[in-house]
Chain A
Amino acid sequence: MSTTTIYSAKKIVTMNPSRPQATHVAVRDGRILGAGSLEELATWGDYVLDDRFGDKVLLPGFVEGHAHTMEGSLWSKVYCGWFDRADPNGKLWAGLKSIDAVVTRLRAAADAMTDPTAPVSGWQLDPIYMNNAKVTRADLDHVSSDRPVGVLHASGHILNVNTKALELAGLMKTGVNHPGIPLGDDGYPTGELKGPDAMTPVGPHVGFERNLLDADEDGLRNFAKLCVRTGTTTITDLASRMDPDTVEMMLTVTAEDDFPTRLVPLRYFMGLSPADLIAEVTTLKARSTERLRMGRIKVVADGSIQGFSARLRWPGYHNGAPNGLWYIAPDQLSETYHLALQAGLQVHTHTNGDQATQLVLEKLAPALQKHPNPDHRFTLQHCQLADAAQFRQAAKLGMCANLFANHHYYWGDEHYTLTVGPDRATRMNACRTALDSGVPLAIHSDAPVTPLGPLFTAWGAVNRITASGRVQGEEEKITVAEALYAITIGAAYTLHLDGEIGSIETGKRADFAVLDDDPTTCDPAVLKDIGVWGTVQGGRIFAASDL
């Protein structure tokens, strides 16, 4: 007979409305036998009492509904971001506040390398916070003139490189004529490469391969460490190409005894016709395991707001930039919805601009009439600019929304002053309106775009503070209880996993976030600062300090 372990805790916040709090939780075979008092749980028979969490607060393991495992691979490169950020091993890297500081850190990394020709790669540079300072190849030549050097911006859409890298790519010449490759006064490229098209020829020379979207084996393990450090027990990989090698790798790595996370990769739509996409994802779904849940589709409708590639309705961009780009033809979106509903597969659709959201609503409605599926839970991802009418329509159609609460902190000021202006910036990521309209809500980090950290994400949605310290959109704040729901059972709901995870109650997986303090009673302003001891995932215990 299996062993029953009963864990005591300072407090257990169950997110189970019929029994919101408990002092003990009983675990058997990786699942929750019950949550309640020790006396109640003892009625199940023999048990081992484990008091290691006696001074901790347990919550359901957090569910991150929109992230990318590539963050794990990026940490093999040099962190160049503006904000302090912890790496998978727990080391805190100080944010860099000037181009000089970036060059200095990169040079230190170059000096420590033994292979004389290896590239120096940095990531997460964000000159928005440095008065949009331009990084030139001359700056990066100070890192090294012998090695290729490349630094990827936080947006993922700009790459700065040095002269050597341009030479290797055959671009260190005059006469280059490309909208994404600005030229200096001397007629040579400045080293700034804007957009994936301009980055592609140079990326491989500076350590950014083309298949950047997919984590490698070590990257996936690294990423899982970040999950433990942030209390996350289920995480999505929201745009995986899932080629056969990647799928085998994911199956192997997630099956390792000490792999601490349930991974939900969504198959990126690009490169397959809708019919082939449905067929492939149906096949993948059948190969799912306890810790690798395949069988969902990710579609990208438009680009990003700060990159001016999101599709906006009238009056468009605040600074007059032309409207953005479609990444899928409206008819192909429609066909994908029809076929997915018919096949019983779920689709999550990236929409940043409100016109992209409107297109999704308009295409899904007739598809649902043709293939009624009351529990489809198709999800709008980001959905940053949706207005109240769109949320009401999304609710009627049975759609979920996973809003980008972190974005509001990191780029809210930029949206206020530059991209969409004060009015729409204030309603961006309108969590309050979504909930009031009856839209099932999740909130997310989009790691590596912003750091993984569900408690930070909850803090963002509760406080709506921007990087400059302003509250932007007081009326769109949600309560701590609503935010905690969004990062647990709310996110699980968007994945059709709310029957298995997201709350601490009988029958569900024994997935816990082990916290130092109680987020339900702390000052909402310090929600993001609550210490995370680690996680329990499927009954297995992972202490952040042991990683």
Chain B
Amino acid sequence: MTDPVAVTVIGGYLGSGKTTLVNRMLRQANGLRLAILVNEFGALPIDEDLIEATSDDLISIAGGCICCSFGSDLTAALVDLSQRVPLPDHIIIESSGVAMPGAIGANIGLLDDFRLAGVVVLADAESVRTQAGDEYLGDTILRQLHEADLIVQTKTDLVPPATASDVANWLATVAQDTAVIQSSHGRIPIDILLGQTAAKQQQMASGHADAAFESHVFAVASQTDAMQLARELAQGGYGLIRAKGFVLDADGRTILIQNVGQRFDATPFDRPMRPELVCIGLRGKLDTDRITRLLASDIATAGAPLQDAL
């Protein structure tokens, strides 16, 4: 049996920048075979210069990537993708403007061949607060934000810096504990969003290229309960946006940890790996001291380090 294919759901209302972000990821794919699933082929789902060929329901993209429309049957589209040779390395679902991305994520969990890698919801810095106050849309927008593992505040270049930070503060109140990344023109490193990079690149190399983020490698002590550790990393207020790497359990087996924002996952890995975790956060927001202390002992026996008293 092959490993399940990772799936990332990108949500957010119309105009929040999903298509821009997806195109930006395609440009960074660098050998990673991305499969983009869109509800429908609207006006230009994919930048024209990236397109190699187009048919009714499939667009072939430079670098072995594809884009398919799923219409009203996402499951069927996923099953089709699971039978492609070669398999995509990562599937990105661009959900419709009023869809609940968390519900799509829950469905991914029902399909054996796939693994939910995260729900990323975009919030347009210019309009998200207006939309959240809209009589018709408000509760839908808020529900989408609540369901996010990671929120990307888009179009920050189109508003004054003060507005961007107001929106960021507001997002922090409506979706507490959810990491928020600011972006313009979809400029976010692909590994932040997807949690993986092309095989030919070093996996999540430290010293991240983007000045907005910082990235560190930590050694990890053996863990009785790797899932508990993964949960603590995701939800314990460490300023983490991504964490990925390996830990050894009490019996010496290798466990893969993959976190995106609020989402955590710990699964057995089939070959021995050095017990190290790569952790990425916004520059200046990553609490490296607490992370170091957390990872230095077995959380099941030592517990999580307390947050430093203010």
Contacts and interface: CB of A to CB of B under 8 A. Distances in A.
Interface string B129-141: 0000001110110
A171 B98 contact: no
B103 interface: yes
B75 A178 contact: no
B288 interface: no
Given A210-B75, A275-B43, A330 B109 contact: no
B98 A178 contact: no
B106 A197 contact: yes
A47 to B, nearest CB: 52
Interface stretch (B34-42, B86-94, B267-275): B34-42
A177 B111 contact: no
A329 B110 CA distance: 27
Interface in A157-214: 170-171, 176-181, 197-198, 200-201, 210-211
A359 B107 contact: no
Nearest to A241: B72
Given A201-B75, A268-B72, A323-B139, A179 B110 contact: no
Contacts of B140: 325-326
B93 to A, nearest CB: 13
Given A197-B103, A200-B107, A322 B39 contact: no
A179 B106 contact: yes
Interface residues on B, range: 20 to 34
Contacts of B137: 326, 330
Contact of A276 (B40, B98, B106, B111): B40
A481 interface: no
- Interface residues of A: mostly helix, strand, loop or mixed? loop
B97 interface: yes
Contacts of A359: 136
B98 A329 contact: yes
Interface string B241-252: 000000000000
Nearest to B134: A330
Nearest to B41: A273
A197 B136 contact: no
A355 interface: yes
B139 A201 contact: no
B49 interface: no
A176 B108 CA distance: 11
A270 B71 contact: yes
A359 B140 CA distance: 14
A359 B72 CA distance: 22
A286 interface: no
B71 A273 contact: no
Nearest to B13: A329
B215 interface: no
Contacts of A416: none
A327 B39 CA distance: 12
A326 B72 CA distance: 14
Nearest to B97: A329
A362 to B, nearest CB: 9
Given A210-B75, A271-B40, A271-B72, A178 B139 contact: no
B73 interface: yes
A273 B69 CA distance: 11
Contact of B97 (A181, A325, A331): A331
Nearest to A200: B75
Interface in A316-334: 322-323, 325-332
Contacts of A92: none
Contact of B98 (A177, A271, A272, A326): A326
Contacts of B76: 210
Given A273-B43, A355-B136, A177 B109 contact: yes
Nearest to A314: B135
Contact of B40 (A176, A198, A272, A326): A272
A325 B40 contact: no
B112 A325 contact: no
Listed from nearest, the 6 A-B pairs whose CB atoms lie closest are A271-B71, A329-B97, A273-B42, A326-B98, A270-B72, A200-B75
Given A210-B73, A272-B40, A311-B136, 12 more contacts: A170-B112, A176-B109, A178-B106, A179-B103, A201-B111, A211-B73, A271-B70, A273-B42, A275-B43, A323-B139, A330-B136, A331-B14
22 contacts: A197-B106, A200-B75, A201-B75, A201-B110, A201-B111, A210-B73, A268-B72, A270-B39, A271-B69, A271-B70, A272-B40, A273-B40, A273-B41, A273-B43, A276-B40, A329-B14, A329-B96, A330-B137, A331-B15, A332-B14, A332-B97, A359-B136
